[in-house]
Structure 1
Amino acid sequence: MFLIRCCLFALALGSSGLLLADPSAWDAVREGRAMVILRHAYAPGIGDPDNFSLNDCATQRNLNAQGREESRRWGDYLRKQGLGSATVYTSRWCRAVDTAEGFKLGQVQLLPELDSFFQDRANAQEQMQSLRRFIAALPAGEPVIMVSHQVNITALTGEFPGSGEALLLALPLSDRPTLLARVPAPEY
């Protein structure tokens, strides 16, 4: 039994270096019974400069070449999972928008509920409640991908995703969301 599990794990790593989720988890995403929430692709550093502006990407921490490539690879991977058409929501931070746009899955919609509260946690609980309400009101049966930040994803799920890592969450969300899979960032 141990040998079988080791072989299955090795096969799951696949040629792309991604830990492939159980196919039924991707079925659930395609059918709108689960969603993907992804931490933005690699952007060196932590947080943002003290006087950053949400309307000026030059003042923010941004994706580097590795992050842009991760984003492109995520788009390829999502299409291979049958998500060539999905509703994509993102934080308004440039690194999140650039990640979502790098997927090349169509129109990206800005969603303030996905904005980082790393530097100001005063309204974090209210923001997470608003995000939960938004997710609960999503149309049934449509694939959804959200791009956000570590602090937001941790607050929502209790999980600590790495840069560019995705979590597949069962819908509807419970108080402690059901994690169907973790998929690491594509290798650079």
Structure 2
Amino acid sequence: MEAFLVSTGIVALAEIGDKTQLLALFLAARWRRPWPIILGIFTATIVNHALAGAVGAWLTQVIGPDALRWILGVSFIAMAAWMLVPDKLDEADTGRLRLGVFGTTVVAFFLAEMGDKTQVATVALVAQFQAYYAVVAGTTLGMLIANVPAVLLGDKLAHRLPVRLVHGIAALIFACLGLAALFGLF
């Protein structure tokens, strides 16, 4: 349960102001059809995070526990620093695809998540907790917690959230996880 809750919370916080949340706002404003967009976000996220989780599970099999502890500790601290760098929506992420609302959302979200903070966090969290299903379910739920309101409420919500504060809290959580991993507290 801890792996699920930590994964959900970290990703929900990390996703606020992220380029995929900006992408959700863009898609909602462009098509004004929230349910295919939400379903597309869910589909892309579950596939992307399932693959990332598989990488995390594989890492626990090929790297010894001491090396893994150091790699995870440094990775979480690096993600804390990365959280403090604001994201911007690239034009390439919003290109015109002829796949309809659902298909465009799936492709755009899947590609936007490649190498993104939440994908890297999923790899690290699966390696840390060694709980593939709980982490993938948690990171997917965290993405939905952050992005569904963005789709449903659009631009009104985005301007009212203290994004810097939320990113600071997420960075603090990542830093604490990194230190806990380095000191063997997990």
TM-score, structure 1 normalization: 0.27
Greater RCO, CA 8 A, separation 6+? 2
Q: Please identify which structure carries the higher helix content.
A: 2
Q: Please identify which structure carries the higher strand content.
A: 1
TM-score, structure 2 normalization: 0.27
